[in-house]
Amino acid sequence: MDTEVAVDLDAIARLLPHRYPFLLIDRVLECRVGERVVALKNVSVNEPFFPGHFPGRPVMPGVLILEAMAQAAGLLASVTNETGPEQGTIMVFAGIDNARFRRQVVPGDQLRLTSTLVKRKRDIWKFDATAEVEGQLVCNAQMMCASQQIEAMRK
């Protein structure tokens, strides 16, 4: 396919069901249909999880780094499938393998999320996903998501 598409903030809201404070993608830098997506998450000191994780030493929880990676993968699947919550389809997290954390993420960091489609079989999608900060690998994993039918959502 290798078709590049522009994905702005409105498109992110149409393609993903997540909303603040759980929408973890701020911007899409690159989106190649059926191939890969590169997105950003700006990590602010004002994130709602920092006061409790950890007081005096804020660190982004690893599960939220994985969630950001999964949202990028879901966004690529939605773009490739030409569907989203407004059409009654969402992508749900279906599995994770070989997740490894290499570095902590702290306020002021900018996560660069890359998800590459490895294979698709019917409604199951498999991705290689990474998160980096300033060129340093933070986390990598293989992820799966599945399309799920829902009642159509509105913005």
Question: Is 143 within 8 Å of 93 (Cβ atoms)?
Answer: yes
Kindly state the greatest CA–CA separation across the chain. 48
- Catalytic residue list: 53
| Dihedral, CA of residue 150, residue 15, residue 12 and residue 126, to nearest 10 | 110
Q: What DSSP character marks residue 35?
A: T
Q: What DSSP character marks residue 114?
A: E
Q: Give the integer Cα–Cα distance in Å for 18 and 13.
A: 8
CB atoms near residue 68 (< 10 Å): 25
Question: Is 126 within 8 Å of 118 (Cβ atoms)?
Answer: yes
- Residues 6+ positions from 106 with CB-CB distance below 8 Å: 43, 58, 59, 60
